[in-house]
Amino acid sequence: MRNRFDEQLAKLNTEMIEMGALCEEAIALASKALTTGDVNLAEKVVPISSDIDHKERDIESHCFKLILQQQPVAKDLRQISAALKMITDMERIGDQAEDIAEIITYLQGKTANETVHIKDMAAETITMVTNSVDAYVKQDISLAKSVIEHDDLVDEYFDRIKFSLIKMISKTPENGEYALDLLMIAKYFERIGDHATNIAEWVIYSVTGNRK
Amino acid sequence: MGDILTAKNLNLWYDKTKALKDININIPENSITAFIGPSGCGKSTFLKTLNRMNDLIPNVKITGEVCYKGQDIYGNSVDVNELRRNIGMVFQKPNPFPMSIYDNIAYGPRTHGIKSKVKLDEIVEQSLRDAAIWDEVKDRLKKNALGMSGGQQQRLCIARALAVKPDILLMDEPTSALDPISTLRIEELAIELKKSYTIVIVTHNMQQAVRISDYTAFFLLGELVEFGKTDQLFSQPVDKRTEDYITGRFG
């Protein structure tokens, strides 16, 4: 009975999946550049981040149009308002991947391999982002909840990385700048984890109507 | 805020057709309660049971109770005229009497025995002010009410209902025959009036229910499916049938 509206909602879903995929691509690229020290790879994050920005604008316009034309209520309203909130977090994820990539270009070929945990932390946050978007697509509350739980793990990684970098600085003070760059990168990953958590919380709202 | 109207196990039949099935609801005082639902769901029928307008329809059978301030309005000792003074009604189509604006408003108070010109003047002015139409009609009170626009006629009908100082105003789709501006006037008026009155409104316009009501009741096939705070009902309906109806995926 509301075929046109249902089509528009399906299109919104597709756009969200596409934006989520771009976010995953941006972090994965930044993470790979970090472990390989490949500056060319890092530079490829910039255009993806810009694609993410455009996608955010497109989805915003789409949502505004849906609100104007369809006056959504109940689960439709929740889906559209959750989407509007989620894209803000997704856009931040893109920016932070770009920030990580920028720092990698300062490292002059150095990798993060000496501090093992940063690789694990990157892998963990990528999983969080992938799962948060998946949870949205599948409207899967338990997957969304697992994303929220994983955030503690990422926070722990950050503390451990910070501790090992402090040790690095005291042992080899000439590595001070490098250590601080790595700390910044770890902080950006930690923030990405927070954004994935926000996305997961909006998924739960969209499905259940309950907000933490 | 207490409940001013309560229905308990209310059933209604038109001949053999059961139009209301075991309705239980508490309507809170000084608030706007909206009844929504598809045509034929019983919402207007139920509204009419609240001041016994169904008494006028032959072959209607009612069981259960409707309590106004704790007293069953279908009880033997109830004075129906007094009941309808306390619980007034505004209909879908504006229905002013074919007489002057002044006499439309004074009609009710006169019927209830008020004869003093000064007192009537006061009631007419206050009712028209309360219905937000005084400024538009104060210079033509002696003109025939049928010469007014539809939106003005409807506000006149609201003023006429207010003139007998009711507690509750029942409104049966009061804006469905009006243009958008007149509709908004009535909506704003309703919000203003709930400070002093309790309003129950039947509406086919769900956005109107969202805009003005504090509570919403969803009816379907003679049943009260869901009743709750409007914000809650339109953002997190509990019943699947409510969800399907309000999101337009019904049927």
Per-residue HEC secondary structure of chain B comes to: CCEEEEEEEEEEEECCEEEEEEEEEEEECCCEEEEECCCCCCHHHHHHHCCCHHHHCCCEEEEEEEEECCEECCCCCCCHHHHHHHEEEECCCCCCCCCEHHHHHHHHHHHCCCCCHHHHHHHHHHHHHHCCCHHHHCCCCCCEHHHCCHHHHHHHHHHHHHCCCCCEEEEECCCCCCCHHHHHHHHHHHHHHCCCCEEEEECCCHHHHHHHCCEEEEEECCEEEEEEEHHHHHHCCCCHHHHHHHCCCCC
- Spatial CB neighbours of A209, under 8 Å, sequence gap ≥ 6: A75, A78, B235, B236
CB-based contact (8 Å) between A9 and chain B?
Answer: no
Q: Which residue of A has its CA nearest to B238?
A: A74
Question: What is the phi/psi pair of residue B67, to 5°?
Answer: -105, 125
Question: How many Cα atoms occupy the beta-carbon half-sphere of A201 within 13 Å?
Answer: 13
A72 Cβ under 8 Å from any chain B Cβ: yes
What share of chain A has pLDDT > 70, as a percent? 97
In this structure, what are the phi and psi dihedrals at residue B164, rounded to the nearest 5 degrees? -95, 15
B49 vs B54: CA distance, rounded Å: 6
- What's the rounded Cα separation, in Å, for the pair B232 and A145? 24
Identify which of A49, A133, A126 has the alpha carbon closest to the alpha carbon of residue A83: A133
Give the list of residues 6+ apart from residue B162 with CB closer than 8 angstroms, or none: B88, B127, B130, B131, B169, B193, B197
Across A191-201, average pLDDT: 97
CA distances from A57 to A187, A192, A193, A201 (A): 27, 20, 23, 22
Q: Is B226's pLDDT higher than 70?
A: yes
Averaged pLDDT of chain A:
92
Interface A-B, measured as beta-carbon pairs within 8 A, has a size of: 33
Mutation for B interface: A2, A9, A73, most B CBs within 10 A = A73
Nearest to A2 by CA among A99, A64, A83, A73: A73
Number of domains in chain B: 1
pLDDT in tens, A134-185: 999 899 999 999 999 999 999 999 999 999 999 989 999 998 998 999 999 9
| Class of residue A78 by CB neighbours under 10 A (exposed 0-12, middle 13-18, buried 19+) | buried
User: Which CATH number do you get for residue B207?
Assistant: 3.40.50.300
Establish whether this prediction's ipTM goes over 0.95: no
> Which residues in chain A touch residue B243, judged by CB atoms under 8 angstroms apart?
74-75
Strands B71-72 and B60-68: antiparallel
Classify residue B44: in a domain, yes or no: yes
A68 touches chain B (CB under 8 A): no
Cα gap A97→A24, rounded to integer Å: 9
- Average the pLDDT over A114-130 and give the result: 86
What does the pLDDT read at residue A148?
97
Q: Are strands B223-229 and B60-68 parallel, antiparallel or unpaired?
A: unpaired
Measured CA to CA, the distance from residue B6 to residue B3 in angstroms comes to: 7
Average pLDDT for A77-89:
95
Which residue type sits at B212? I
What is the 8-class DSSP label of residue A175?
Answer: G
Whether pLDDT at A110 is above 90: no
Contact B89, B53 (CB under 8 A): yes
The strands making up B32-36's β-sheet, listed across from edge to edge, are B87-90, B168-172, B198-202, B32-36, B215-220, B223-229
Residue B79 CB burial class (10 angstroms; 0-12, 13-18, ≥19): exposed
Between the CA atoms of A78, A79, A81 and A86, what dihedral angle is there, to the nearest 10 degrees? 130
pLDDT > 90? residue B11:
yes
Q: In the prediction, which pLDDT does B59 show? A: 92
Mean pLDDT calculated for residue range B112-139: 95
β-pairing verdict for B215-220 and B168-172: unpaired
Which chain B residues contact residue A207 at CB under 8 A?
none
CB contact under 8 A, B248 and A5: yes
The pLDDT value recorded for residue A114 is: 63
Q: What is the pLDDT of residue B63?
A: 95
Q: Which residue has the tokens 């308990």?
A: B8
**How far out from the chain centre does Cα A183 lie?**
18
Residues of B near A (Cβ–Cβ under 8 Å) read: 206-207, 210, 234-237, 242-243, 246-251
pLDDT of residue A132: 95
Q: Is B206 within the bounds of a domain?
A: yes
Burial class (CB in 10 A: 0-12, 13-18, 19+), A157: buried
Please write the tens of the pLDDT for every residue from A18-69.
999 999 999 999 999 988 888 999 999 999 999 999 999 999 999 999 999 8
User: Is B152 inside a domain boundary?
Assistant: no
Residue A119's pLDDT is 86
The pLDDT score that the predictor gives to residue A113 is 65
Q: Assign domain A3-208 to a CATH class.
A: mainly alpha
Neighbours of B201 (CB within 10 A): 27
pTM of the model: 0.86
Question: How close does chain B come to A72, measured CA to CA in Å?
Answer: 7
Tens-digit pLDDT profile for residues B17-72: 999 999 999 999 999 999 999 999 999 999 999 999 998 889 999 999 999 999 99
> Cβ separation of A74 and B246 shorter than 8 Å?
yes
Q: How far does CA B153 lie from the centroid of its chain?
A: 16
B207 to chain A, minimum CA–CA distance in Å?
8
Chain A residue with the nearest C-alpha to that of B205: A71
- Indicate the domain borders of chain A: 3-208
Q: What is the pLDDT of residue A36?
A: 87
Query: What confidence score (pLDDT) does residue A142 get?
Result: 97
Q: Do A71 and B207 touch (CB under 8 A)?
A: yes
Count the neighbouring beta carbons within 10 Å of the beta carbon of residue B251. 7
Q: Give B-chain residues touching A72 at CB under 8 angstroms.
A: 247
Q: Render pLDDT for B77-117 as a digit per residue (tens, 0 to 9).
A: 999 999 999 999 999 999 999 999 999 999 999 998 999 99
Kindly report the number of other CB atoms within 10 A of residue B76's CB atom.
5
Instruction: Answer whether B235 sits within 8 Å of A209, measured CB to CB.
Output: yes
Give the C-alpha separation, A143 to A150, whole Å.
Answer: 11
Domain that holds residue B174: 3-95+167-246
Examine residue B11 and state whether it is found in any structural domain, yes or no.
yes
Share of chain A above pLDDT 90, in %: 80
Chain-centroid distance of CA B178 in Å reads 16
* Interface membership of A10 toward B (CB under 8 Å): no
SS3 of A66-102: HHHHHCCCHHHHHHHHHHHHHHHHHHHHHHHHHHHHH
Across residues A175-200, what is the average pLDDT?
Answer: 94
